[in-house]
Amino acid sequence: MLRISKYATGMLETNVYFCFDTDTRECVIIDPADNADHIINIIDNELEVQPVVILLTHAHFDHMTAAGEVAKHYGIRIYVNALDSEFMADANRNLSNRFTFPVTYSRDDYDTFNDGDTLELIDREWKVLGTPGHTPGSTCFYIEDGLKYIPNGASEEHVCPVLFSGDTLFRGSHGRTDFPGGSQRAISESIREKLLVLPEETSVFSGHGPQTSIGIEKRYNPVARGIL
């Protein structure tokens, strides 16, 4: 069974996600933002899971500062969209120079994926949805075989798809587009054409802020309503 645990950290309160299988205890870490020691403590002592990979939704410092240290500790790889490779190596483009100390990664430090790829992780298919706008390589991860639940009044178990949306889609909003490589037009198109077409029951786990759903965003998000 799939389980998702969230930990908000860093000056921008970035959501770090631990997505794991309750049977195998294998875990995917998404956006290890900051405070590597605490992330490791959560993994080892609270969740008691075994990390297998680190996925980045995009290459801004507040989503990847702890990635290198966590990856080294567990001997696992970091994956990011190939279109954000330049951001990994440039402290100006990944904003670390603006907000904190320089954070950079060499090309040997990580591997890449592309829009349309499917990743086989923790016995599930993770669909890679390229959603440019916040950064050129901003990515959402979609798991169709997601969280199991029993709806009110129902007797049978249902499966709720899961979307990790990074800084592309927030509850009632979206990520900023005034940073290097950002585009309001691109992020609006990404949300309308890639995300709002997903099943309404899809649970959305954003890079900042509370959980939402595709159904809620179709009704209330300014992009869906044509305001942005």
Is 131 within the bounds of a domain?
yes
What is the tens place of the pLDDT at every residue in 118-169?
999 999 999 999 999 999 999 999 999 877 665 555 566 678 899 999 999 9
Backbone angles phi, psi at 188, to 5 degrees: -65, -45
Q: Looking at the domain assignment, is residue 227 inside a domain?
A: no
For 129-186, the DSSP string reads EE-TTSSTT-EEEEEEEEEEE--TT-SS-EEEEEEEEETTEETTEE---SSTT--HHH
Does some domain include residue 168?
yes
- Strands 78-81 and 110-113, how do they pair? parallel
What are the tens digits of pLDDT across the range 171-224?
Answer: 999 999 999 999 999 999 999 999 999 999 999 999 999 999 999 999 999 998
Give the global pTM: 0.94
- The verdict on residue 137 lying in a domain is yes
Domain-located, residue 228:
no
Residue 9 contacts residue 34 (beta carbons within 8 Å): yes
Q: Are 221 and 191 in contact (CB under 8 A)?
A: yes
Phi, psi of 186 (to 5 degrees): -65, -45
Q: Is 197 inside a domain boundary?
A: yes
Query: pLDDT tens digits for 17-69?
Result: 999 999 999 999 999 999 999 999 999 999 999 999 999 999 999 999 999 99
Average pLDDT along the chain: 93
Number of domains the chain is built from: 1
Angle at 75 between CA 128 and CA 164, to 5 degrees: 25
Q: 216 is in which domain, residue-wise?
A: 2-220
Here the CATH number for the domain that contains residue 187 is 3.60.15.10
pLDDT score of 154: 58
Distance separating alpha carbons of residues 171 and 209, to the nearest angstrom: 7
Residue 226 belongs to some domain of the structure: no
* Euclidean distance between CA atoms 140 and 165, whole angstroms: 5
- Residue 199 located in a structural domain: yes
